[in-house]
């Protein structure tokens, strides 16, 4: 406690409003982030036994009624994290429960979140994409593949060397496991793949959609809450005019990542990673890319031409039929007139 002296009066004030975990050998230093709606708060803390900085994630219980969803999310994240051992996924250290909520202790990574307003060049964004895809490849190559389900700027930390770290696995699920209805559409609006929104089964391409949206945010300097402004009525992203300097290949790669139907995306993170590595991010299209675009344009023009020819042919056929019908009627009229003249001619 400390003393607050004002107008000659003294009163005790608390030195900190943070939770006290000293009995568990953790000392909270400061708050790192807060999701008020979900009841999640993360703290930077000091582990007294190891003398190392750690992150403590709080799942706060509702004060009104028992919050089983928070407890399930906590248990689920602990179960997932205990299986993982990757240098760019903060290592699980400990977990505990109190009357106020449940807590997970993880390794601290000295890297700011992409949720902060940060600026990167397109080449740097490609490096970040590669780094995240490498983590997803690891998750998808587990004996039971893991889908993160909440990839977005706030859940990605990036250090000065452009190494990405993936955090917040409370929505993560093992691929193929049945999810309760309450877990459907549990990701972040704008970053959820369409199959998640409509309750269809998730695939290894589901996290690719969320990563693609995140990269578009970075490229266009769009805030996460405004990402919906780049989507048209047909659920397609229109961002090309905002980043005219990126190459045709990189633009095509991004559009495939955020394809509305998962079958039109890359099959998994490894396929997406291998496709991205050789792509030149900046500059005009390469000869092969130009040729592909030209063929695509000519193919579209040829299809349009064929459709036009078909329409003209059908119109011409109808005209000929109409004309033929008119001629036949004219001939019939002439024959009728001839017969009339013959029958009425003097004998």
Q: Are residues 152 and 69 in the same domain?
A: no
Q: Are residues 93 and 34 in the same domain?
A: yes
Long-range contacts of the stretch 221-227 (C-beta < 8 A, 24+): 221/119, 224/115, 224/152, 224/153, 224/154, 224/188, 224/190, 224/191, 225/190, 227/190, 227/191
Which residues form the domain of 317? 286-330
Q: pLDDT at position 315, please?
A: 44
Tell me the torsion sign for CA atoms 202, 151, 89, 265.
positive
Residue 208 lies in a domain: yes
Q: Are residues 176 and 248 in the same domain?
A: yes
Q: Are residues 85 and 129 in the same domain?
A: no
Q: Name the DSSP letter for residue 37.
A: T
Q: Are 336 and 330 in contact (CB under 8 A)?
A: no
Give the Cα separation of 222 and 215 in Å (integer). Answer: 10
The residues facing 27 across adjacent strands are 46
For 50-79, what is each residue's pLDDT tens digit? 999 999 999 987 655 556 788 889 999 999
Q: pLDDT at position 232, please?
A: 86
Give the Cα separation of 193 and 301 in Å (integer). Answer: 32
Give the Cα separation of 287 and 280 in Å (integer). Answer: 12
Give the Cα separation of 308 and 316 in Å (integer). Answer: 12
Q: Are residues 141 and 206 in the same domain?
A: yes
Q: Are residues 306 and 175 in the same domain?
A: no
Give the Cα separation of 48 and 25 in Å (integer). Answer: 5
Q: Are residues 169 and 132 in the same domain?
A: yes
Print burial letters for 99-136: b (CB count within 10 Å at least 16), e (below 16): eebbbbbbebbebebbbeeeebebeebbbbbebbbbbb
Q: pLDDT at position 257, please?
A: 98
Residue 278 lies in a domain: yes
Residue 339 lies in a domain: no
Q: Are residues 143 and 278 in the same domain?
A: yes
Q: Are residues 22 and 96 in the same domain?
A: yes
Residue 346 lies in a domain: no
Can you give the pTM of this predicted structure?
A: 0.77
Q: pLDDT at position 188, please?
A: 79
Q: pLDDT at position 99, please?
A: 87
Residue 167 lies in a domain: yes
The residue among 52, 46, 11, 42 whose CA lies nearest residue 28 is: 46
pLDDT tens across the length of the chain (347 residues):
443 433 443 444 344 578 999 999 999 999 999 887 778 999 999 999 999 999 999 998 765 555 678 888 999 999 999 999 999 999 999 999 998 899 999 999 999 999 998 899 999 999 999 999 999 999 999 999 999 999 999 999 999 999 999 999 999 999 876 554 434 445 678 899 999 988 899 999 999 999 999 999 999 999 999 999 998 887 789 888 889 999 999 999 999 999 999 999 999 999 999 999 999 999 764 445 444 544 544 554 454 444 444 444 444 444 344 444 543 443 344 444 344 433 444 43
What is the domain-level CATH number for residue 103? Answer: 3.30.200.20
User: How many distinct structural domains can be found in the chain?
Assistant: 3
Q: pLDDT at position 324, please?
A: 46
For 38-57, what is each residue's pLDDT tens digit? 789 999 999 999 999 999 99
Give the Cα separation of 268 and 136 in Å (integer). Answer: 9
């Amino acid at each position: 406690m400390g003393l607050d002296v004002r107008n000659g009066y003294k009163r005790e004030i608390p030195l900190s409003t943070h939770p006290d975990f000293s009995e568990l050998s953790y000392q909270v230093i400061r708050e790192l982030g807060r999701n008020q709606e979900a009841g999640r708060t993360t703290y930077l803390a000091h582990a007294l036994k190891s003398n190392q900085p750690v992150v403590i994630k709080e799942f706060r219980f509702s004060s009104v009624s028992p919050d089983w969803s928070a407890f399930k999310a906590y248990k689920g994240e602990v179960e997932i994290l205990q299986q993982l051992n990757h240098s760019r996924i903060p290592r699980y250290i400990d977990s505990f429960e109190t009357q106020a909520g449940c807590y997970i202790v993880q390794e601290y990574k000295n890297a700011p979140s992409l949720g902060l307003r940060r600026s990167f060049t397109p080449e740097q964004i490609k490096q970040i994409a590669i780094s995240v895809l490498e983590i997803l490849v690891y998750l998808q190559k587990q004996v039971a593949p893991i889908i993160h389900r909440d990839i977005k700027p706030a859940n990605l930390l990036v250090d000065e060397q452009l190494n990405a770290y993936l955090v917040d696995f409370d929505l993560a699920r093992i691929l193929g496991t049945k999810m309760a209805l309450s877990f459907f559409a549990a990701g972040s609006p704008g970053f959820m793949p369409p199959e998640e929104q409509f309750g269809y089964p998730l695939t290894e391409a589901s996290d690719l959609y969320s990563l693609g949206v995140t990269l578009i945010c970075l490229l266009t300097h769009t805030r996460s809450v405004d990402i919906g402004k780049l989507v048209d009525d047909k659920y397609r992203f229109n961002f090309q005019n905002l980043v005219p300097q990126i190459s045709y290949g990189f633009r095509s790669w991004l559009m495939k990542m955020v394809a509305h139907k998962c079958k039109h995306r890359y099959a998994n993170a490894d396929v997406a990673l291998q496709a991205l590595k050789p792509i030149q991010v900046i500059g005009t299209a390469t000869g092969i890319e130009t040729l592909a675009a030209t063929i695509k344009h000519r193919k579209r023009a040829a299809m349009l031409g064929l459709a036009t020819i078909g329409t003209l042919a059908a119109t011409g056929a109808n005209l000929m039929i109409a004309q033929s019908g008119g001629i036949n009627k004219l001939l019939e009229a002439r024959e009728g007139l001839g017969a009339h003249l013959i029958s009425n001619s003097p004998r």
